[in-house]
Structure 1
């Protein structure tokens, strides 16, 4: 057992936080009560990361299962997703004529989706968590499918996700508040999608213990087999920089990769291959998947990707290779049609129905509290950030090296007052002070 000082949360604190988790309505996002729960979920996520990294007792996961709060996390995840698509888009239109002075209140709400997805990624690795959330796992699966298909659509439009999520972070240091929010939105979308790939992998691992409708949705409604093939053919987490060097998104950051290492699979790439393997090789999936001439052609494309260097890293792909060779020379068996009552993702549908024709009113409310907050609101957000992120224990487990808040280069110096911003040197810190001053003063006052 780790020493008490090495906990983000003690087990007793974590259990109290979990017990008090509740489902908030979309109009309550950004409120004082919502911010308290955001802080609690953030700390639960941090503790879950620490426990998993140290291979110790995952008491956060156990509490979420025993108190049946996984469903609450899913509710919160879907409310933020809908807030982004229906409220945030309206807030951005409002900001055309009036630039927001403070972006971090809105960023806190946007980043809440990353935190929830990260916590679910850790929890849903375990079959017991998937089973206790049985009724809403279809909502989770559909959420992951939406994120992945959105990413594929961006790839189809020729968007370079490295340039969009990484280079803009550097070139946008002098951006307006509206431009900053757009950049943060794009970064968060990408981060959530990466986590969605992992979550969906765990759902596929536990398909046999989940409702049959989830398999049907993955295979025939969303056709995730073809989606995974597309992710293998055109991986969005691999890019080539303008100087000719290749980069991959590994452990939450873009890293330079030597050409000789390009075929070395990352954890993320391995999850995509294994997800495809499970869906194609699972006998139940084979009986359910509705093959036609189009998707058969798509699936057979990956034969060219099953190189020896790939199969050596994932030996189970030998079986997939043989299956594809067999598929190429014969027609797949006809799908046996069955009369079944198909489950629908009820939680998201309920949210959409309850908020029909209310999105504009919610956007107008949040414009005054999140987009253009009062000084008291800004202080409230600053207080939450200060109390949540002033935890040195996490620095041992963060894969990213800190980056300069101005130029984006690796940083070694931290703001001595608020302890939240990093800089590569004195020059960048001085240049960034006019932008950082208000938040720094407020966070320092709160501490």
Structure 2
């Protein structure tokens, strides 16, 4: 049983002082201290989950002190910093990558308030970039000694499916973003492209490799029929998006795109992810008849 990294009282003191920073403050002493504190909170939340406690006091504190929007702001701040500042720094000197990654626990999207739309758009940008990279057949054949802007962004996108399958499930509980996911962003079709491109696996010299724990690893022959963890997350996200009650009412189904999933829904996949049987049945019915057109309603969205 893992021991606690921090106790509830210490976690509360760390959560209370979480604050947003302007872009110019990224890398400052104050920002680094908060970065370290967020890492501690993340690890403790993970420990709480693994210990199957009745409640995760870290997540409860983040919600009660209304700090979820702070974490969303920090995540987008780091994205902007990576795109606009990090390339310039890389031209000046090599940087150790060990302190460049933040982990966020987003268990209650409702606590994110208006920033939930920013969170959704952030996820959409990352998946779109990952699909685009896979479509262009860009691949990593070696590990660079020093991290580059391209590699930094690539690693962030590779992590995206694993963090987002649960995130979609949480977002679907927030009615204000369902229309944005289904209609504005058209996430179901985007995830279909992700299944088609399967950027979490590759073959190098005839050898199958999967992207696991932030690196490419050889897949043993006995495990090659197992569904990759990242692929599981994408399937779960599709299941949640297409089978929710509001989907048929709001979503303008692209049959040709969605029916591409049928060729991937093998018996091997069904054995490993039994809930997908319902998704396969839904696609079979979609193939036989056109769905009813969506009901167009006035929708107010944050922009």
| Same structural fold, with TM-score higher than 0.5 when normalized by the shorter chain | yes
Q: SS of the residue aligned with 1:206?
A: helix
CA-CA distance at 1:11 after TM superposition: 2.1
Which residue in the other structure is 1:40 paired with? 37
Indicate which of 12, 18, 21 corresponds to 1:21: 18
Out of 262, 270, 281, the residue aligned to residue 224 of structure 2 is 262
Q: Per-residue deviation at 1:313?
A: 1.4
Shift of 1:137: 1.2
Q: Does 1:193 align with 2:136?
A: no
What is the aligned-residue RMSD (CA, Å)? Answer: 2.2
Aligned residue among 286, 293, 299 for 2:248: 286
What TM-score comes out, normalization by structure 1 length? 0.63
> How big is the shift at 1:258?
2.9
The alpha-carbon deviation at position 134 of structure 1 amounts to 3.0
State the 1:266 CA deviation: 3.0
Checking the alignment, whether the CA contact within 8 Å between 1:232 and 1:272 is kept in structure 2 is yes
Aligned to 2:227, the other structure's residue is in SS state coil
Deviations 1:404-428 (A, max 9, x none): xxxxxxxxxxxxxxxxxxxxxxxxx
Is 1:231–2:194 an aligned residue pair?
yes
Asked if residue 119 in structure 1 is aligned to residue 116 in structure 2, the reply is no
Over 3 Å counting, the alpha-carbon distance change for 1:38 and 1:227 in structure 2 is same
Q: Which residue in 2 is equivalent to 1:315?
A: 274
Return the match for 2:125 from 112, 137, 146: 146
Note the C-alpha offset of 1:319: 1.7
* Pairing of 1:311-350 with structure 2 (within 5 A): 311-344=270-303
Match of 1:132 among 111, 121, 144: 111
1:197 Cα deviation after fit: 2.1
- Equivalent residue for 1:205? 169
DSSP 3-state at the match of 1:283:
coil
Q: Deviations over 1:373-413 (max 9, x none)?
A: xxxxxxxxxxxxxxxxxxxxxxxxxxxxxxxxxxxxxxxxx
Deviation string, structure 1 residues 328-350 (Cα, Å, up to 9, x no partner): 12222111111222222xxxxxx
In 1, Cα distance between the equivalents of 2:88 and 2:95?
15
The residue that corresponds to 1:83 in the other structure is 81
Q: Does the C-alpha gap of structure 1 residues 73 and 148 become closer, same or farther in structure 2, counting only changes over 3 Å?
A: same
Deviation of 1:91 (Å)? 4.0
Report the CA distance between 1:260 and its aligned residue.
4.5
Moved more, 255-264 or 281-290: 255-264
On the 8 A contact 1:225/1:276 being kept in 2, the answer is yes
**Which residue in the other structure is 1:388 paired with?**
none
Cα distance in 2, alignment partners of residues 267 and 156 from structure 1: 21
CA deviations 1:298-341 (Å, max 9, x no partner) are: 11111111111111112222222222122112222111111222
**Alpha-carbon distance in structure 2 between the residues aligned to 1:263 and 1:286:** 33
Tell me: higher relative CO, structure 1 or 2? Use CA pairs within 8 A at least 6 residues apart.
Answer: 1
- 5+ residue gaps, structure 2, are none
In terms of fraction of residues, the more helix-rich structure is 1
Give 4+ residue runs of structure 1 displaced > 4 Å after superposition: none
CA distance in 2, matches of 1:22, 1:315: 43
TM-score (norm 2): 0.91
Indicate yes or no: 2:179 matched with 1:216: yes
Distance 1:159 1:37 in 2: 35
Where 1:240 maps in the other structure, the secondary structure is: strand
Contact 1:141 1:200 in 2 (8 A): no
1:229–1:302 CA contact under 8 A, matched in 2: yes
Aligned 1:96-111 pairs, distance under 5 A: 99-100=92-93, 103-104=95-96, 107=97, 111=100
Confirm or deny: 8 A CA contact 1:134 1:211 kept in the other structure.
no
Larger radius of gyration: 1
